[in-house]
Amino acid sequence: ETQWVHMTLALIAAILIQVGTNLVNDACDFERGADTEKRIGPMRVTQAGIFSSRTVHRTGIACFALALICCAPAFLQRGWRLVLVVTSSCAAGYAYTG
């Protein structure tokens, strides 16, 4: 039987991991000096001065945490292997920048 709740939460978790990766990347690029006013591309909130790099970085980490929380019901049903997959995905998203 299809577990629609788990599927929906997994989709939300995947989106949160992507958003978290982008936010951490934005903050780290800014801190390293990779994002300057000469950067070509879409506006980045840290580079534009809308949010501090610390706020953007923490928000990215919060997205990873929320992704893990979204998967908690599936973790309880499917076990440690799924925990490992989702945790590894969050870690890879965080490590992407650095």
Output the pLDDT for position 98: 57
> CA distances (Å), 32 to each of 12, 17, 48, in order?
30, 22, 15
Low pLDDT (below 50) residues in the chain: none
Q: Which of 88, 87, 86, 94 is nearest to 23 (CA)?
A: 94
Output the pLDDT for position 63: 98
For 66, residues 6+ apart whose C-beta sits below 8 A from its C-beta are: 13, 16
Count of residues in the chain: 98
What pTM, to 2 d.p., does this model score?
Answer: 0.89
Q: What whole-number distance in Å separates Cα of residue 45 and Cα of residue 52?
A: 8
Cβ atoms 59, 23 nearer than 8 A? yes
Output the pLDDT for position 72: 94
Output the pLDDT for position 9: 94
Output the pLDDT for position 47: 85
Q: What whole-number distance in Å separates Cα of residue 88 and Cα of residue 79?
A: 15
Output the pLDDT for position 87: 96
